[in-house]
Chains A and B, each alone.
Chain A
Amino acid sequence: MKNVLIVGATSAIASATAQLLAARTDGLYLVARNREKLEAVAGDLSARGAGKVQICVMDALEYDRHPRIFAEAEAALGGLDTLLIAHGTLPNQERCQESFELTMREIEINLLGTISLLTHAANYFEQKRSGEIVVITSVAGERGRQSNYVYGAAKGGVSLFLQGLRNRLDKSGVNVLDIKPGFVDTPMTADFPNKGILWSQPHRIARHIIRAIDRRQDIAYVPWFWCFIMMAIRTIPERLFKKLKL
């Protein structure tokens, strides 16, 4: 039985993942901004048989609270094995282009807030010499494209940071897992029309995440077919890619 701290616990992917964890009676410490949503999620997980479920209302940008949440989670659950970072927003690319202020805020939420959490998490788990850090980034972080490069830059930055962390923490026995979903049908992507065959439901993504955690993978494309799609995308030469309307 593992104890899991989830930041962004009310997001669709995180709560679907937590539902699967609850079925294994893991202890869960849920962090998100909205109390009412947190209570709904916590009630669900308890009813599904989760060991202990505690909530904590916190914003990803409350940097001064970040160092403390690990100790708080450990105290509440009686131990802490896993951190899952699942918070984030989907920037409106066009509006970001017009406003650096908006871009800055999006980068703060999606990159800096995550880095702050990771900085403290790395020290916490390194000192314990065990545990795992799981972060949901995106395939969008692998190659900048005109339709969402603010999002891509943030997620790409996180992936690079995770790579360095993985290198640092390997000798301490701490696993660092980068989850890269493709298109997922969630409230965050509600405005996308015509979702086709490449789109997945959160519960499917959640199953893949659990499998990747159990297998102690380093990087996991979810679902797996994105691995091949991104391999193809990565091989396109820049002088050709820059002409595409992706």
Chain B
Amino acid sequence: MGYRYRSWGRYPPASQHIVSMSWRHEALPADRFPGLTLLPFGNGRSYGDVCLNDGGALIDVRPLNRLVAFDAVGGRITCEAGVLLSEILEIAVPRGWFLTVTPGTQFVTVGGAIANDVHGKNHHRAGSFGCHVYRFELLRSDGSRLICSATENQDWFRATVGGLGLTGLITWAEIQLKPIVTPFMEQEVIKFAGLDEFYTLSDESDGGFEYTVAWVDCLATGRHLGRGHFIRGNHSKVKPSRPGNDPKARLGIPVDIPFSVVNRLSLKLFNWIYFHRQMRRTRASTVHYAPFFYPLDSIPGWNRMYGPRGFVQYQCVIPHENGRAAIQEILTRISRAKMGSFLAVLKVFGDTPSPGLLSFSSPGVTLALDFPVATAGTLGLLNELDDITCSAGGKVYPAKDARMSAGHFERYFPNWRQLVAYMDPRFSSGFWRRVRPDSL
């Protein structure tokens, strides 16, 4: 099943030995490949090499897919680390509970969500995923097990949340869900003409809307720079009279495409059509949670659209004081290079501190885009963007990263030195070896 052990961007290529972990009470299969380093692997939705270990071994944690307990009154669920967020939703939603924080895909494991301390459209209200994790068990290669929480082994908790799987293997975790009345969402989509309007909308919406995010046309230039659609929503309190369906995955991309569908021409065309598809300035609707939170999950294999060489995602967060200027400069640089993705995402993060040493989400504005690797100049452009992000005091999200340099990593995550003491000596990843080459 070699194809299963790739990251979502299918870049960089990596080959590793695979060993599975099927029972949470058993020891780590550390002796299966004695000379090799290990890394837990969930569902491979990280984009770059945080989930890869080229030349080493991966521990497939997906067989750890059991629930341990579900308190349907208090909304606490304890489950093994290989359980997908989609599986939690299948069980919890009918009982009136939803994930307190969810990323843009439901096909990530609980372990992966903790290891990357993922965030969602409600960061300005709820903070990151790690803020709602009560505790988890960390299994180390020496056989020791640590229960980590805000009150027990707190330093291990801080190191492991956002710790990219390098401190050991999470076997199970207990998380808090939030109550909902229906699976539907009240959504508003507002067309905006440029970046200034985005910030205004964002400020206005934070108070009344739990979820906010913007899609931005990354090819728009001049006074159209940063035009897009602002999406804001709340959980419905009332069941609609004519409910929309829960769209099961429909048309997907079942086979590899030998070229990247995303190119200069297609991008410009798509973005223009997409921006103008909504005629009215504001459109309100009631939708099922699936298309609201996980629009791309309904296109299985969408990552194939970028062709066999794959794609890279660039997601940065810039602190408020430099945010506007830096985002403006980044978008200008991208549109000038005429490169980028169909869907560029812009959002303002809230002030809730993230609990991990290497957590990404922090106060400021975040921008995320995909770039096909096949396009010449992609990697050069991203290094330029790194320079802008660095000067503005921001950072880049490791979960999405496949190419940040060691120099930039040092500036983005000065806390990395504290992480080293908690890393498991047998664990390593492609990402870590790239950003800390002296650790080899």
Interfacial residues, chain A to chain B (CB-CB below 8 A): 12, 15, 23, 36-37, 40-41, 43-44, 47-49, 185, 187, 190, 194-196, 199
Smallest beta-carbon distance A33→chain B, Å? 13
Question: Any chain A CB within 8 A of the CB of B284?
Answer: no
Contacts of B69 in A (CB 8 A): 43, 47
Question: Any chain A CB within 8 A of the CB of B436?
Answer: no
| Residue from the list A40, A190, A199 in contact with B23, Cβ < 8 A | A40
Annotate B177-210 by CB proximity to A: 1 below 8 A, 0 otherwise. Answer: 0000000000000000000000000000000000
> What are 28 A-B contacts with C-beta separation under 8 Å?
A23-B90, A36-B23, A36-B25, A37-B23, A40-B23, A40-B24, A40-B25, A41-B66, A43-B67, A43-B68, A44-B66, A44-B67, A47-B67, A47-B69, A47-B70, A47-B77, A47-B79, A47-B91, A48-B67, A49-B91, A187-B20, A187-B22, A190-B19, A194-B2, A195-B2, A196-B1, A196-B2, A199-B1
| Residue from the list B1, B23, B77 in contact with A195, Cβ < 8 A | B1
Question: Any chain A CB within 8 A of the CB of B63?
Answer: yes
Annotate B1-43 by CB proximity to A: 1 below 8 A, 0 otherwise. Answer: 1100000000000000001101111000000000000000000
Are B22 and A12 in contact, with the CB atoms below 8 A? Answer: yes
Q: Report the interface size class on chain B.
A: 10 to 19
Given contacts A12-B22, A195-B1, A199-B1, contact A40 B91 (CB under 8 A): no
Given contacts A47-B69, A48-B91, A195-B1, contact A12 B63 (CB under 8 A): yes
Annotate B56-91 by CB proximity to A: 1 below 8 A, 0 otherwise. Answer: 000000010011111000000101000000000011
Contacts of B23 in A (CB 8 A): 36-37, 40
Interface residues of A, dominant DSSP: helix
Are B68 and A47 in contact, with the CB atoms below 8 A? Answer: yes
Contacts of B68 in A (CB 8 A): 43-44, 47
Contacts of B79 in A (CB 8 A): 47
Contacts of B67 in A (CB 8 A): 43-44, 47-48
Q: How far is the CA of A47 from the CA of B67 in the complex (A)?
A: 6
Given contacts A48-B91, A190-B20, contact A43 B1 (CB under 8 A): no
Q: How far is the CA of A143 from the CA of B197 in the complex (A)?
A: 70
Q: How far is the CA of A12 from the CA of B64 in the complex (A)?
A: 11
Contacts of B63 in A (CB 8 A): 12, 187
Q: Give 6 new A-B contacts, CB below 8 A, not counting A36-B23, A47-B68, A190-B20.
A: A43-B66, A44-B67, A44-B68, A47-B70, A47-B77, A187-B22
The chain B residue with its CB closest to the CB of A10 is B23
Interfacial residues, chain B to chain A (CB-CB below 8 A): 1-2, 19-20, 22-25, 63, 66-70, 77, 79, 90-91
Are A40 and B2 in contact, with the CB atoms below 8 A? Answer: no
Q: How far is the CA of A185 from the CA of B62 in the complex (A)?
A: 12
Smallest beta-carbon distance A55→chain B, Å? 14
The chain B residue with its CB closest to the CB of A187 is B22
Contacts of A48 in B (CB 8 A): 67, 91
Smallest beta-carbon distance A232→chain B, Å? 24
Q: How far is the CA of A40 from the CA of B172 in the complex (A)?
A: 12
Contacts of A187 in B (CB 8 A): 20, 22, 63
Contacts of A15 in B (CB 8 A): 66
Q: How far is the CA of A93 from the CA of B188 in the complex (A)?
A: 63
Q: How far is the CA of A37 from the CA of B64 in the complex (A)?
A: 12
Contacts of B70 in A (CB 8 A): 47
Contacts of A44 in B (CB 8 A): 66-68
Contacts of A12 in B (CB 8 A): 22, 63
Q: How far is the CA of A191 from the CA of B24 in the complex (A)?
A: 20
The chain B residue with its CB closest to the CB of A39 is B25
Q: How far is the CA of A170 from the CA of B24 in the complex (A)?
A: 43
Smallest beta-carbon distance B58→chain A, Å? 14
Q: How far is the CA of A12 from the CA of B77 in the complex (A)?
A: 23
Smallest beta-carbon distance B286→chain A, Å? 27
Q: How far is the CA of A152 from the CA of B137 in the complex (A)?
A: 41
Smallest beta-carbon distance B274→chain A, Å? 35
Q: How far is the CA of A195 from the CA of B3 in the complex (A)?
A: 9
Smallest beta-carbon distance B270→chain A, Å? 32
The chain B residue with its CB closest to the CB of A43 is B68
Smallest beta-carbon distance A115→chain B, Å? 28
Q: How far is the CA of A194 from the CA of B17 in the complex (A)?
A: 10
Q: How far is the CA of A141 from the CA of B53 in the complex (A)?
A: 38
Smallest beta-carbon distance A21→chain B, Å? 14
The chain B residue with its CB closest to the CB of A192 is B1
Contacts of B1 in A (CB 8 A): 185, 195-196, 199
Contacts of A194 in B (CB 8 A): 2
The chain A residue with its CB closest to the CB of B64 is A40
The chain B residue with its CB closest to the CB of A197 is B3
The chain A residue with its CB closest to the CB of B62 is A201
The 8 closest A-B pairs by CB, nearest first: A44-B66, A47-B67, A47-B70, A195-B1, A44-B67, A187-B22, A36-B25, A43-B68
Smallest beta-carbon distance A19→chain B, Å? 8
Q: How far is the CA of A194 from the CA of B18 in the complex (A)?
A: 10
Contacts of A37 in B (CB 8 A): 23
Smallest beta-carbon distance B25→chain A, Å? 5
Smallest beta-carbon distance B187→chain A, Å? 29
Contacts of A196 in B (CB 8 A): 1-2
Q: How far is the CA of A96 from the CA of B196 in the complex (A)?
A: 75
Contacts of A36 in B (CB 8 A): 23, 25
Smallest beta-carbon distance B196→chain A, Å? 49
Q: How far is the CA of A49 from the CA of B22 in the complex (A)?
A: 22
The chain A residue with its CB closest to the CB of B68 is A43
Contacts of A49 in B (CB 8 A): 91
Contacts of B91 in A (CB 8 A): 47-49
Smallest beta-carbon distance B425→chain A, Å? 25
